[in-house]
């Protein structure tokens, strides 16, 4: 289990660092996230974060996280709801 301290983020999703360093892209409704003021995409201490001041902005939809580096790629779908399920 990874014991490194996690960065502080507003309500968000966090992707652990990888090696070689991955490119992480977040999508909602097929559109990349983080290009407007509704959510923030950032990297802190090697962790890739997607944060929203108002988690309701992401509610009721699927968030897709695409992580890729020289070793391969990972594609995950996250369902967002108010109760965190």
| Count of the separate structural domains present in the chain | 1
Which of 46, 53, 49 is closest to 21 using CA atoms?
A: 46
Which CATH number do you get for residue 40?
A: 2.60.40.10
Tokens of 49: 């974060």
Q: Residue 26: which residues within 8 A CB-CB, separation 6 or more?
A: 13, 32, 33, 34, 39, 41, 50, 63, 64, 65, 66
Residues paired with 13 in a beta bridge: 50
- Higher pLDDT among residues 21 and 55, named by residue: 21
Q: Are 43 and 59 in contact (CB under 8 A)?
A: no
> Domain for residue 47, yes or no?
yes
Indicate the SS3 state at residue 26: strand
**Domain membership flag for residue 37:** yes
Pairing relationship of beta strands 40-44 and 31-32 according to DSSP bridges: unpaired
85 in any annotated domain: no
According to the model, what pLDDT value does residue 3 have? 47
Digit-coded pLDDT (tens) for 40-84: 888 888 888 888 777 677 777 788 999 999 999 999 888 876 664
Position 55 in a domain: yes
Domain that holds residue 49: 12-79
Overall pTM > 0.95: no
């Amino acid at each position: 289990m990874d014991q490194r301290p996690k960065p502080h983020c507003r309500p968000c999703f966090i992707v652990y660092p990888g090696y070689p360093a991955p490119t992480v892209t977040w999508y909602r409704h097929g559109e990349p996230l983080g290009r407007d003021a509704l959510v923030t995409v950032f990297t802190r201490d090697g962790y890739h974060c997607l944060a929203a001041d108002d988690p309701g902005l992401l509610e009721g939809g699927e968030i897709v996280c695409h992580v890729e580096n020289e070793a391969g790629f990972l594609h995950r779908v996250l369902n967002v709801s108010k109760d965190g399920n």
